[in-house]
Structure 1
Amino acid sequence: MLFNRQLIFLYFTLAASVGYLVTALSLGAPIAESGLTPAFFPTLIGGLAIVFCCILILQALRSGPEADPVEEGRNYTHVWVVVAIFFYIVAFQPLGYFLSSGLFVFALILLFSKFEKLLQKALISAAIVVVAFIMFQQLFGVRLPTLWG
């Protein structure tokens, strides 16, 4: 079947990814003479989103029609992810990159895993935030806001 809830969502995601890639490409060449440009990362993300979305669509089409599984209770994780993204955007400038990103990554990890080993998850969140900071500062030359100015 070419249309079910999962496939409609994947088609929408594919269309949004194509739009994102087109917008990223309008920023200019991702690689210039002196190295990477600000358009590199958005172009990479857009291209990867399209590739992975196509893979998911092919997998869904190959699996064939399935009966809708009986829901064991609604899972509102997708709503909580949107709420977390909203609060991340609001908190980014006043709290700075480290605090807002650390809380955001920690919240996402908790949303998609069990509520245990919190110290380990906090350390993983901190490592992700530090690696991303180094990548943006050193590789892309992007100055991120910090709490201390």
Structure 2
Amino acid sequence: MFYGAVVWDPWLIISQIICLQCLYYLTLGFFLSIFVGSRISRMSLIYFFDFSTITASTVTGWCAIVAFFLSSVAGAGFMLYLIERAKKCLDFSATLYIIHLFICLFYGGWPSSLTWWVVNLTCFALMAFLGEWLCIKRELREIPMTRLRSNV
């Protein structure tokens, strides 16, 4: 992909949003099954979308918080390969967490827990900044130059 040419491709943007959202929920499910699944008898969507499960007063709540943080770190890694541009990482992170907020609204109502807001805003910032940092590191790599002529 050539980065100099600015091309408006809404299908690419929509597909990147869908891929990033799906990968985020897959990794969140993976980490929730590892951390929370070992503590409860049956996993459900309540741990993904209900604000009451994100609590600092129980060990299971702390396990869910750790799963959310690890999935945001993984999301930053996904942005490195899906988005590839540092200046787009903030937009895609915000889109991911806004979509997550709307899903949580439909699933469990307005999140009234301060812990839920702190965790999700911190995860959003972590994903955006770490994704930007990773993309900047990739963008600033030295371009390898091959020899045009060999000394034969």
**Does the pair score TM above 0.5?**
no
TM-score (structure 1 length as normaliser): 0.28
Choose between structure 1 and 2 for higher RCO, CA contacts under 8 A separated by at least 6 residues. 2
Using the size of structure 2 for normalisation, the TM-score is 0.28
